[in-house]
């Protein structure tokens, strides 16, 4: 599959993963439309799309007529979402409006305006809840630990129905924590690592909540590659895949690595898990992503050490734009 000259829609295109995908598509010659509602507290940042020929459409998928942006599109990368776990708990109505109801709107618009487009949907490991066994494959029971898990599962399932009932080529990628350039680092709304990076770059101690729990972290270039491969590999269409990263590490190990890469004065303090988050915490997680590796040949290329190093280097001269 060649991307040259193709019209591609990226929803959530001004956000962290969406914008990285937009840049990668531009480099491959695609005509890229980034749709973003710039929701308060979300990952969208105008700086994310700077210096590239990306058409930005500002619009809220809960309300806008979505047919125009879909028109003529051959691939839709669907990353628009409310992704914060505490955000979902605090405002579950806004959360389901974006993550599930608006997905139905987008599905209906795409039927009219882009009936043949391939859709790659950004899903999440969140609704597995606490892992029954590690690593977590795609057959683990769904047990959403929070409102965001409920809404994201519903959104994914509407898209998979669109495949089963109407035959649209749809791939859902259940992502774990992702990080790298263009991450929202202002606060902890996009992974714990976002706020850790900010603190390190500002010379402040960051907080590690808990510590022994395992996580796999995917560097954004590897995530981008997974999305491109998912779209371009017909054998993936109609399927749901977990996407992991390099071997998992404990939060403590990740924190130590970050401190050692950044050098003094980087440091952290360990805290008990806050009570309001403990109720929705999922413990250890890492993905079994062998199905996707087998289907596409994909594998994560960026180690945690390289990824952290690149992230620090990328953000250091741009910090002001991300606070």
Can you give the binding site for its own copies, defined by CB under 8 A? 89, 92-93, 96-97, 100-101, 104-105, 139, 141-142, 144-147, 149-151, 153-154, 157-158, 161, 164-165, 279-280
Residue with tokens 């017909």: 234
135 versus 181: smaller Cβ distance to its own copies: 135
Smallest distance from its own copies to CB 96, Å: 6
Least separation in angstroms between residue 142's CB and its own copies is: 5
To its own copies, the closest distance from the beta carbon of 130 in angstroms equals 11
Burial class (CB in 10 A: 0-12, 13-18, 19+), 40: exposed
Nearer to its own copies, 101 or 134 (CB): 101
Report whether 129 contacts 148 (CB < 8 A). no
Buried b (16+ CB within 10 A) or exposed e, 170-179: bbbbbbbbbb
Structure tokens of 293? 């590796």
Q: Yes or no: say if 292 and 243 are a contact pair by the CB < 8 Å rule.
A: yes
Alpha carbons 291 and 240: distance in angstroms, whole number:
9
Decide whether 58 or 164 has the Cβ nearer to its own copies: 164
Choice between 105 and 237, CB closer to its own copies:
105
* For its own copies, the closer CB: 138 or 256: 138
Q: Of 19 and 151, which CB lies nearer to its own copies in the complex structure?
A: 151
Min CB(278)–its own copies separation in Å? 10
From the CB of 101, what's the least distance to its own copies, in Å? 6
What is the smallest separation between the CB atom of 264 and its own copies, expressed in angstroms? 40
- CA–CA separation, 155 and 144 (whole Å): 13
Q: Cα-Cα-Cα-Cα dihedral of 105, 107, 113, 115, to 10°?
A: -170
Helix (H) or strand (E) holding 145, with range, is: none
User: Measured from the CB of residue 112, what is the shortest distance to its own copies in angstroms?
Assistant: 15
Shortest reach from residue 100's CB to its own copies, in Å: 6
Q: How far apart are CA 61 and CA 88, in angstroms?
A: 17
Q: 165 or 320, CB closer to its own copies? A: 165
Residue 83 or 151 having the CB closest to its own copies: 151
Q: Of the two residues 101 and 257, which places its CB atom closer to its own copies in the complex?
A: 101
The least CB distance from residue 121 to its own copies, in Å, is: 14
Between 220-232 and 16-27, two packed helices, what is the crossing angle to 10 degrees?
Answer: 60
Q: How far is CA 109 from the centre of its chain?
A: 23
Rounded Cα gap, residues 88 and 166, in angstroms: 30
In DSSP terms, which residues pair with 122 in a beta bridge?
173
Contacts of residue 121, Cβ cutoff 8 Å, sequence gap at least 6: 78, 155, 156, 159, 170, 171, 172, 173
């Amino acid at each position: 599959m060649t991307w040259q000259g193709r019209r591609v829609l990226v929803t959530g295109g001004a956000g962290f993963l969406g914008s990285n995908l937009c840049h990668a598509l531009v480099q491959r010659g695609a005509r890229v439309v980034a749709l973003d509602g710039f929701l308060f507290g979300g990952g969208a940042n105008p700086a994310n799309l700077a210096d590239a020929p990306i058409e930005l459409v500002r619009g809220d998928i809960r309300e806008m007529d979505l047919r125009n942006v879909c028109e003529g599109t051959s691939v839709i990368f669907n990353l628009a979402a409310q992704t914060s776990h505490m955000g979902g708990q605090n405002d579950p109505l806004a959360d389901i409006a974006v993550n599930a109801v608006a997905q139905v709107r987008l599905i209906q618009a795409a039927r009219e305006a882009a009936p043949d487009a391939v859709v790659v949907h950004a899903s999440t490991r969140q609704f597995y809840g606490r892992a029954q066994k590690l690593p977590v494959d795609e057959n683990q029971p769904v047990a959403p630990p929070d409102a965001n898990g409920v809404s994201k599962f519903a959104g994914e399932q509407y898209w998979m129905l669109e495949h089963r009932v109407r035959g649209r080529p749809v791939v859902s990628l259940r992502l774990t924590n992702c990080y790298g350039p263009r991450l929202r680092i202002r606060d902890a709304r996009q992974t714990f690592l976002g706020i850790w990076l900010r603190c390190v770059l500002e010379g402040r101690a960051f907080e590690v909540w808990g510590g022994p729990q395992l996580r796999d972290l995917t560097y954004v270039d590897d995530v981008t590659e997974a999305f491109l491969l998912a779209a371009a590999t017909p054998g993936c269409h109609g399927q749901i895949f977990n996407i992991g990263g390099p071997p998992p590490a404990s939060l403590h190990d990740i924190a130590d690595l970050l401190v050692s890469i950044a050098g003094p004065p980087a440091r952290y303090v360990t805290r008990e898990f806050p009570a309001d988050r403990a109720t929705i915490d999922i413990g250890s997680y890492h993905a079994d992503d062998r199905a996707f590796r087998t289907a596409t040949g994909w594998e994560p290329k960026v180690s945690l050490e390289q990824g952290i190093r690149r992230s620090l280097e990328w953000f250091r001269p741009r910090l002001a734009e991300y606070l």
